[in-house]
Amino acid sequence: MVKRKSLSAVEEMLVPVAAEPVAISGQLRAQVDHCAERIRDARAKGAAVMLIYGAHLIKNGAALILDNLIANGWLTHLATNGAGTIHDWEYAWLGRSTECVRSNVATGTFGTWEETGRYIHLALLAGGIEGLGYGEALGRFIAGDGIDLPEADELASLIVADPAHELAAARAELLHAMRNGSVPEGRCELKHRWKQASVLASADSHGVPLTVHPGIGYDIISNHPM
């Protein structure tokens, strides 16, 4: 994927928290002020504030702003779609993301990137055996620069000992991936040099829930054989 022509880079798109806001219309400004007031009121009452966002919030460089909101307790839950996590991971690992859909669909290469599919699936498989959801599993993978996986024999023993366990299916999926050679045993190290651009990592580090609501079959990681 390092050879892919990506259309945006962390250094170019990440917006500093202290950046001067761009000029907006009076009508839009009133909406922003109203939203901020509602958030302040909710938190003053101890009520939840949930942010639901898509990939464009990440692609427009809002990660540091969201990190600030998370760290200061303004957001109590975040939710995104599959694309929101794909761009988040690519920025955190590669420092770049976004491909030309028109050019790459024409060549049959759109969304077929080995690393994106492999490492997101790896994070989800590893998180599954701990009962973690998509957001927490991938956020922990990014924040921790990798994951520690059990040995295949250990997984097999757990499945045999308690086949009705609530994690048995997740264990079986990971075991299958290990036995077909897709996933190694032990430590899988992957340095995320731009993790400051990851909302997933920020949410995990601050212990704030981030849930993922992907489309069934249409996110690009569905192309990966894992």
| pTM, rounded to two decimals | 0.93
Do the beta carbons of residue 177 and residue 226 sit within 8 Å? yes
- At 218, the pLDDT band (50, 70, 90 cuts) reads confident
What is the per-residue pLDDT across 58-94, written as a single tens digit (0 to 9) for each? 999 999 999 999 999 999 999 999 999 999 999 999 9
State pLDDT tens for residues 122-177. 999 999 999 999 999 999 999 999 999 999 999 999 999 999 999 999 999 999 99
Structure tokens given for 55: 């990939």
Cβ count within 10 A of residue 96 = 21
pLDDT of residue 18: 94
Mean residue pLDDT across the chain: 96
Q: Residue 112 — pLDDT band, cuts 50, 70, 90?
A: confident
Helix (H) or strand (E) holding 214: none
What whole-number distance in Å separates Cα of residue 179 and Cα of residue 32?
52
- Please report the pLDDT score of residue 111 as a whole number: 84
Q: What are the b/e assignments for 51-83, b being 16+ CB within 10 Å?
A: beeebebbbebbbbbbbebbeeebbbebebbbb
Lookup result for tokens 């490492």: 119
Give the residue extent of every domain in the chain: 8-107+195-223
Look at residue 186 and give its three-state secondary structure: strand
DSSP 3-state percent helix, strand, coil across the chain (nearest 5): 55, 10, 35
- Residue percentage of the chain with pLDDT more than 90: 86
| Residue given tokens 């702003």 in the structure block | 65
Q: Is the separation of the CB atoms in 70 and 202 below 8 Å?
A: yes
3-state secondary structure of 80: strand
Judged by DSSP in three states, 97 sits in strand
β-strands 186-189, 146-149: how paired? antiparallel
